[in-house]
Amino acid sequence: MDRVRIERLLRREQEVFARRNPRSQALAQRAQSHLPGGVPMPWMTRYAGPFPLFLSWAQGARVQDVDGHTYLDFALGDTGAMTGHSPGAVVTELQARLLQGLTAMLPTEDALWVAEELSQRFGLPFWQFTLSATDANRAALRIARAVTGRPKVLVFHGCYHGTVDEAFVALEGGIPRSRKGNLGPPVDPLLTTKVVEWNDPQALEGALAEKDVAAVLTEPVLTNVGIVHPAPGFLEMLRSLTRKYGTLLVLDETHTLCAGPGGCTARFHLEPDLLTLGKALGSGVPIGAYGLSREVAEAYAELLRGPHADTAGVGGTLAANAFSLRAARLTLERVLTEESFARMEALGERFQAGVEAVIRQAGLPWHVTRLGGRVEYLFRPEAAENGTQALEGQDPLLDPFIHLFLLNRGVLLTPFHNMALMSPATTEAMVDRHTELFAEAVASL
């Protein structure tokens, strides 16, 4: 592929973007004075355009920016809005809770309802609540260290679990390193964490055999470096090796919930010791959750006995608040249902088939992968087997070009990679519109 041509096309899309979005540009300039880097969160500088679009409203699977352009939204807040934006079935009733108190340091029946429902779905009997998936992961790791009396955590190269200090490690040329960009780590993360490649049972066993690892923290299918599926037998191997060496298995289902009502855990009959969730659980209202097996919960309860449960290092004043838990209850009851997941999966299949056909017709060395209603295309011929291969499939020119080409024509993909997520509000026509534009982008190359 002609790189000079891609560069020229990218520049053209950047110019179109700047011309199309004068209001966002003006806000981005104004933001330089009071928001570091001109954004309220650093990752917002990573969009493909020269400045971020400022949001005006979002509804269902559509968002509108302040310049009045409407987009078909396949980013869905990077899963926070997998339910579709502001689903009526949730927000209408949630308004009642707004008038009944939002946070009171007291449990509500909704907390119990949500715990019962999550137990049904994921098989873990005990649940606790946080305000984010990050915080659920932090708590899960603390509990795992406390229960096992071991200091270390193991993660896979290419993982992302939120701003969890222990997970900010990577392999560079096979050597473990603090992840690039890791800002002010409390200690060198190599002191706390081992990192190995996904789908490498030998490396995994080597690391676990030292019996100093409290927990393996992983997604059951990697979704943050493209979608990287486990090789046949790898998840079973992961479970048996963690059991063999006395390490707890923490599955982060924040993204992989897209595989079904009980995530990959239910779909593939997995047996984690702890499980973490967040993002979509409250239809965008901040909430995270972590589930504990009976054994872990009993050991944890023992450790919490006494007067120091408020200084255990897990929790937060607003965690498990009444509003978040009502949002989670309504979301689980009315939106993230069996029927919705079936619909999202069918749309995901349609999206994948569309992209696949374009790639095949153009004879490109690219591929597309999927997990339930989550689809991703990557610029390498075969599906990646680990983080290193997946990272090699990213392209510093093609990635922003595709994103901007789509954005300038009304389609929003998840930033940082070419991921598309379906929601119950997504339609076949929206999926087909993406396919059409993807074909146009490819033709223009």
Which residue ranges make up the site for ligand PMP (CB under 6 A)?
78, 132-134, 137, 160-162, 219, 224, 252, 254-255, 278-279
Closest approach of Cβ 33 to ligand PMP, in Å?
A: 27
CA angle 280/49/45 to nearest 5° reads 60
Nearer to ligand PMP, 224 or 386 (CB): 224
Q: What minimum distance in Å lies between the beta carbon of 80 and ligand PMP?
A: 7
Cβ atoms 420, 83 nearer than 8 A: no
**Closest CB to ligand PMP among residues 24, 386:** 386
Taking residue 316's Cβ as centre, other Cβ atoms within 10 Å add up to 14
Nearer residue to ligand PMP within complex by CB, 255 or 409? 255
Instruction: Provide the 10 A C-beta neighbour count for residue 237.
Output: 15
AA letter at 96: A
Question: What tokens were used for 10?
Answer: 């990218």
Q: In the complex, what is the shortest distance from the CB of residue 224 to ligand PMP, in angstroms, rounded to a whole number?
A: 5
Provide the minimum distance between the beta carbon of 279 and ligand PMP in the complex, in angstroms, as a whole number. Answer: 5
Torsion-angle region of residue 211: left (phi > 0), alpha (psi -120 to 50) or beta? left
CB 288, min distance to ligand PMP, A: 6
The minimum distance between CB 425 and ligand PMP, in angstroms, equals 21
The residue (of 132 and 389) whose beta carbon lies closer to ligand PMP is 132
Nearer to ligand PMP, 254 or 352 (CB): 254
Q: Which is nearer to ligand PMP, 182 or 427 (CB)?
A: 182
One DSSP character per residue, 342-388 reads HHHHHHHHHHHHHHHHHHHHHT-S-EEEEETTEEEEESSSS--SSHH
Collapsed DSSP state (helix, strand, coil) of residue 56: strand
Instruction: Name the residue nearer to ligand PMP (CB basis): 137 or 408.
Output: 137
Burial of 306 (0-12, 13-18, 19+ CB in 10 A): exposed
* 319-329 core/surface letters (b: 16 or more CB in 10 A; e: else): bbbbbbbbbbb
